[in-house]
Amino acid sequence: MKKSKVDLLIGAQWGDEGKGKVVDMMGADVDVFVRYQGGANAGHTVIVNGQKVVFHLLPSGMLYPGKLCIIGNGLVLDPEQFLAENAGLHERGQDRARLVVSPHAHVVMPYHKILDRAQEAARGKGRQIGTTGRGIGPCYVDKYARNGLRVEDLLDPDLLREKLVPLMEEKNQLLTRLYNEKPIPFDEVYEPAREWGKALAPYVDDVVRLLRAAVDAGRHILLEGAQAVLLDVDHGTYPYVTSSSTIAAGAFTGTGLAPCDLTRVIAVVKAYTTRVGEGPMPTEERGEIGELLRRRGGEFGATTGRSRRCGWLDMMGLKYSMELNGVDVLALTKLDVLSGMDRIRICSGYEYDGRRLDRFPTSSRVLEEVVPVYETLPGWKEDISGCTSFESLPDAAQNFVRFIEAQLDVPVKLIGVGPDRAQTIDRGL
């Protein structure tokens, strides 16, 4: 039996590392692409031949013909976003893969989005998390309260009505009595949901069976993570996190694959650090450097358009990510953004309450008060966007990459030197 290759791609920081580009670059050699957690609060941007495509729910492999693209049970599905995104690809002739949705994926309903925004507003200034307002958190709440709707429920209009009646009563009680919102008429939810079921039906299949068959056939499977490690609901900077498990272990519950199926973990790291929304970020630069990184890197959210907070590379957070995920190789993105700087700073440690910390503190309160300890490396002036090999990079850029490898004890096998698929240095990924 031919041995399968199961790669797991995760973001190693606070998200927006460029995972979509890496997935797309690897895509030609991949047979099966899988999204396994998160929802439409993710935005993976792919640029091919100068054309920009943003994926929120669909796996990035949709641009490749003949591939199998799967939405696993661990993802929460926004039917409106899913259908609109798929229709957009179809209109441009870019829906080239076979798309499959797990019947067990939970559904983001209209009341989830209203609750999300109402809850965030009710937290008040200083306590807000910075959610996207896409209903992701409330949908996961219902999932774990065993009170949610799954894709399979939308396929049966009678079952959908039976489940939705008590759900709507409960949600309207919350909206009207706790958040002073207007109640949602039943038919305004039921009728669209019934139509979503009809539209989703052709895509629904047994994902566990399909993945097991792919493993048994020796196929190359790529599990495509959304958000990133430091936003993990258990291991991230709680409560400023997402609502799903973003670490490597989450891929198994989100797909039905077994841990023994996994071949390697690929962590995507941006050459600097960004964060969207609230929460601690020790290396954030609020002045000229932060604005420079934001402008050069195009650091605006693909999902919300919000400006990303920018700062220097944080090795403390990255070392923590390596520990949590058993990372085998790194993909370093946006190295070109650092071109032209006289010096580049890298945070190699934290000080807290007068002492040096030897580990990344997961307490948000502690992380808000740490003082970053920096090392300074020489920068480079050259434009590296046309470099096609590691040796063609300026010496200072090569040394920057080697510094990361030495600090994390993980090899950098992929280097992004521009936004396009072709602007990538492959060192044997």
Give the chain's domains with CATH numbers: 5-105+204-265 (3.40.440.10), 106-200 (1.10.300.10), 269-426 (3.90.170.10)
Q: Give the pLDDT confidence score for residue 3 in this predicted structure.
A: 79
Q: Give the pLDDT confidence score for residue 129 in this predicted structure.
A: 73
Which residue type sits at 82? F
* CA separation for the pair 281, 311 (Å, rounded): 8
Query: Mind telling me the catalytic residues?
Result: 16, 44
Please, are residues 299 and 272 in contact by the beta-carbon 8 Å criterion? no
- Beta pairing, strands 273-275 & 309-311: antiparallel
DSSP state of 174: I
Q: Give the pLDDT confidence score for residue 1 in this predicted structure.
A: 57
* CA separation for the pair 43, 299 (Å, rounded): 12
CA dist 26 → 20, 149, 255, 307, 331 (Å): 10, 34, 20, 28, 11
Determine the distance from the C-alpha atom of residue 164 to the mean position of all C-alpha atoms in its chain, rounded to a whole number.
Answer: 30
Q: Give the pLDDT confidence score for residue 264 in this predicted structure.
A: 97
Q: Give the pLDDT confidence score for residue 206 in this predicted structure.
A: 98
Q: Give the pLDDT confidence score for residue 54 in this predicted structure.
A: 82
CA dist 189 → 17, 146, 168, 198, 255 (Å): 36, 20, 9, 15, 28
* CA separation for the pair 45, 37 (Å, rounded): 17
Please, are residues 31 and 214 in contact by the beta-carbon 8 Å criterion? yes
CA dist 119 → 174, 176, 184 (Å): 10, 13, 16
Element at 57 (helix H, strand E): none
Q: Give the pLDDT confidence score for residue 126 in this predicted structure.
A: 66
Q: Give the pLDDT confidence score for residue 262 in this predicted structure.
A: 97
First to last CA, the chain: 24
The 10s digit of each residue's pLDDT in 156-206 is: 999 999 999 999 999 999 999 999 999 999 999 999 999 999 999 999 999
Q: How many Cβ atoms sit within 10 Å of the Cβ of residue 254?
A: 25
DSSP 224-238: E--S-GGG-TTTSST
3-state secondary structure of 429: coil
Q: How many Cβ atoms sit within 10 Å of the Cβ of residue 161?
A: 13
Instruction: Flag residues of the chain having pLDDT under 50.
Output: none
